[in-house]
Amino acid sequence: MVIYLTGDSELGKELYIREYLKGKDVEYHKLFADDDVKIQELKNAASSLGLFSNSKVYDLVDFDEWNKAEKNDFNTLDLSANWLTVFVRTQKVGKDITKVDGKIKILNFEKPKEWEEEKWMKFIIDIANSLGITCNFHIAQSIFKFTGPDEYAILTELEKLRIYSDNHPTPSDIEQIVYKRTISKLDELGFAISEKKFNLAREFADEISEGYEPVVVMYAVAKHFIDLFNILVYSPKKSAYNWPDISKIAKDTGIPSPKVARFLGFKFKDSKTTPVNHTSIYKLKEVREIIEYLYTLDRRIKLGDDPRLLLNIFITAIETGDISNPEKLLEF
């Protein structure tokens, strides 16, 4: 049988397949667009069962990335063997694909629109229930405040809550577990610097220097500005960004949506702070110079210089705009 999993909720498709596989004696294989022998493998699977399981399941993870000829070849295959199930993850099926009992099934998985917060609450509650987690509307709201409409971020946090809260999370658990993952102290240091909140940045720098290895701190700060550089490359310059903008940029850059949102000044409902739109205060040349400065800083720390002093020198350099000559650090 071929089961087409359509719609824009990749998480919904993933959870459906997980549930389908649960407790079954099957050979499970994922096939990707860049697998050169995928058509032949499906032909072989349809012609013989093999010796080590009662059935085979193939998961075509990125069917939309297959070229037209490969899709046509796939559509000609006879995959009706009773031991074979093929999941096809796709946004939508062609008009020539129709349901056939026992041979073709079409299921649709849609996530709520970014602005449909009430539906996102139900979405979170449904996923929580599927994981065995007790979750009411208030708990769902608390999770959503930190993850935003990012379905995989929601799943990650729920799975974390399942471990640390014994399947019964409280509002306090959300604050302690979800918040600490989403916005760590190292993240806050990076944003305090890049948002030009320099007094706060110095406070974080002093606090973090006590609890983290210097190399870890410098890696986190450098990664923060590398992320900013990539976001500037991929982001059209705008005074304000909506969630579809953020989702696309997050996908293009591989940076988590909540972090992209903060870089771009997107304010979540009930947020206590107003983030800064970094595209309005930074240019690529400046961020490139900051990254070069940080590489010099890292070298000085590895040579044994005082990391707290150098980090504060860096913050001052950002504050004064004196970052074009990182070798000046050698004077200290």
The CATH code belonging to domain 2-108 is 3.40.50.300
Judging by DSSP bridges, how do beta strands 2-6 and 55-60 pair with one another?
unpaired
The 10s digit of each residue's pLDDT in 138-182 is: 889 888 877 777 787 788 888 888 887 777 888 777 766 765 544
8-state DSSP, 176? I
The CATH code belonging to domain 185-331 is 1.20.272.10
Q: How confident is the model at residue 59 (pLDDT cuts 50, 70, 90)?
A: very high
The 10s digit of each residue's pLDDT in 226-284 is: 999 999 999 988 889 988 898 889 888 888 888 898 999 988 765 667 789 999 999 99
> According to the model, what pLDDT value does residue 218 have?
84
Q: 117: which 2 tokens? A: 């917060």
Q: How confident is the model at residue 74 (pLDDT cuts 50, 70, 90)?
A: very high
Q: What are phi and psi of 109, to 5 degrees?
A: -130, 110
**Burial degree of 43 (CB within 10 A; 0-12, 13-18, 19+):** middle
CATH 3.40.50.300 residue ranges of the chain are 2-108
Q: 45: which 2 tokens? A: 């699977």
Q: How confident is the model at residue 125 (pLDDT cuts 50, 70, 90)?
A: very high
- For the cut 50, the answer to whether the pLDDT of residue 212 exceeds it is yes
- CA distances to 187, 228, 230, 277 from 235, rounded to whole Å, are 21, 10, 8, 11
CATH 1.20.272.10 residue ranges of the chain are 185-331
CATH 1.10.8.60 residue ranges of the chain are 117-182
**117-182 CATH fold:** Helicase, Ruva Protein; domain 3 (1.10.8)
Q: How far apart (Å, rounded) are the C-alpha atoms in residues 56 and 26? A: 5
8-state DSSP, 233? H
> According to the model, what pLDDT value does residue 331 have?
54
Q: Which is more confidently placed, 269 or 115?
A: 115
Helix or strand (DSSP H, E) at 106: strand 104-108
Give percent of the chain with pLDDT exceeding 90.
32
Q: 308: which 2 tokens? A: 């707290």
Mean pLDDT of 126-145: 88
> According to the model, what pLDDT value does residue 182 have?
47
Q: What are phi and psi of 82, to 5 degrees?
A: -70, -10
